Amino acid sequence: MTQQKTKTEPVIADYDAVKYDYRTYWQGREYEDLADKIALMKLLQKASKKVDLKKDGIYIDIGGSYGREIHTYLPYAKHIILFDYSLETLKKGRKELIEAGITNVTYVAGNVYFLPFCDDKIDAGQMVRVMHHLKFTQKAFEEINRVINSYFILEAANKIHAKYAMKAILHGKMKDLKDASPYKQVPRETAQGSKGADQIFLNFHPTYISNEITKTDFHISAKLSVSNFRMPFLKKLVGTSVLSAVEKNVQEVLAPISFGPSMYYLLEKDEKVVKNVSNIDEIFCCPACRGKLEKTNNMLSCVSCKRHYEITDGVYDFRYTADNF
């Protein structure tokens, strides 16, 4: 009898490995794109009343890819960090944004489980459309908590959205709605971003998110229910502009019942001190050992563990992962 090989789940969603262009995912998803930006704008406006990053602040977009949402948060901080595991996407995005006249951006390729930043050096940030790839959420939250010193906007795929809840009720599976563990979606060979490669796609119960946040120094100060009308027939029948207008008015109303397939959380810390960084290289540390880095030409080298990190086409390449963590 032939023994079947077991597939192992990846630690990192590596779009470069499968040559996936994330832009293609948003083709035909104009409504979802607008819904994200509406939610992001609302939470940025709320957070900016307490913390002003326009003079000296640094804002990071973890999983920022090519900068899909950069025009939404660009007015709220002096300096932006686009952070993603895909080096190729960052290189392309950098070229396009510079051509568009956006020059206050630092591009960093890295691993959210091993962020290459010193403690409390980044003022605020976001992570949108990334959580569904994170198997080790506690490790990711620990790193975000370590480097962010004021507020953070988090998006997570919602396990108990309205469609899922109705199915559970109809099939008498009410206990599924109370089960706070992440839901692993059934693997799809045609799933965007996987192209046959082993990937994980997780949906999260709001209770799970709340429990994980309590382990950090953040507290949840606001929630939004997003992409509430993500149904093909509605998008075709009503249109993006009308759906987006309605979406804008219901995100707060539907948040308490976790209605939409996407939930946004504004996380805040009690201490909100904007750090004044004169040189962007001051914020970096070795992602492997958190040692001090020294810069020579297009290379950053760790004085402790002697690892080297290149700067390729204007992108800092800090991609690192450990076998066990």
Tens of pLDDT, residue by residue over 183-210, are 776 554 444 544 544 567 899 999 999 9
Q: How far is CA 192 from the centre of its chain?
A: 17
CB-facing half-sphere around the CA of 282: CA atoms within 13 A: 10
Quick one: average pLDDT of 35-45?
A: 98
pLDDT in tens, 312-323: 999 999 999 886
Query: CA-CA distance, 38 to 32, in Å (whole number)?
Result: 10
Q: Which residue has the higher pLDDT, 7 or 170?
A: 170
Structural tokens at position 254 = 């539907």
Q: Which residue has the higher pLDDT, 86 or 181?
A: 86
Which residue from 238, 280, 235, 252 is spatially nearest to 104, judged by alpha carbons? 280
Q: Looking at the predicted structure, is the pLDDT value of residue 163 above 90?
A: no
Q: Looking at the predicted structure, is the pLDDT value of residue 77 above 90?
A: yes
Query: CA-CA distance, 138 to 15, in Å (whole number)?
Result: 23
Q: Which residues contact residue 34 at a Cβ distance below 8 angstroms, ignoring those fewer than 6 apart? A: 240, 244, 247
Query: Which residue ranges form the domains of the chain, and what is each CATH number?
Result: 22-279 (3.40.50.150)
Give the mean pLDDT of the chain.
89
Residues facing 158 on adjacent strands: 204
Report pLDDT for 30. 95
Query: CA-CA distance, 117 to 260, in Å (whole number)?
Result: 33
Query: CA-CA distance, 261 to 31, in Å (whole number)?
Result: 13
* Orientation angle between helical segments 137-147 and 206-213, nearest 10 degrees: 50
Query: CA-CA distance, 14 to 233, in Å (whole number)?
Result: 32
Query: CA-CA distance, 154 to 223, in Å (whole number)?
Result: 10
Which alpha helices (DSSP H) does the chain contain, by range?
Answer: 30-48, 70-73, 87-99, 137-147, 162-170, 174-178, 206-213, 232-237, 240-254
Q: Which of 12-21, 47-56, 147-156, 178-187 has the highest mean pLDDT?
A: 147-156
Query: CA-CA distance, 8 to 187, in Å (whole number)?
Result: 13
Q: Which residues contact residue 268 at a Cβ distance below 8 angstroms, ignoring those fewer than 6 apart? A: 47, 50, 150, 151, 218, 219, 221
Q: Which of 4-13, 47-56, 257-266 has the highest mean pLDDT?
A: 257-266
Q: How confident is the model at residue 273 (pLDDT cuts 50, 70, 90)?
A: low
Q: How confident is the model at residue 266 (pLDDT cuts 50, 70, 90)?
A: very high
In percent, how much of the chain has pLDDT > 90? 71
Report pLDDT for 236. 87
Q: Are 40 and 128 in contact (CB under 8 A)?
A: yes
Q: Are 133 and 15 in contact (CB under 8 A)?
A: no
Report pLDDT for 5. 39
Q: Are 288 and 114 in contact (CB under 8 A)?
A: yes
Q: Which residues contact residue 29 at a Cβ distance below 8 angstroms, ignoring those fewer than 6 apart? A: none
Q: Looking at the predicted structure, is the pLDDT value of residue 50 above 60?
A: yes
Residue type, 51: V
Report pLDDT for 7. 46
CB atoms within 10 A of CB 113: 19
Report pLDDT for 19. 86
Structural tokens at position 180 = 């706070």
Q: Are 83 and 105 in contact (CB under 8 A)?
A: no
Query: CA-CA distance, 226 to 248, in Å (whole number)?
Result: 9
pTM equals: 0.91
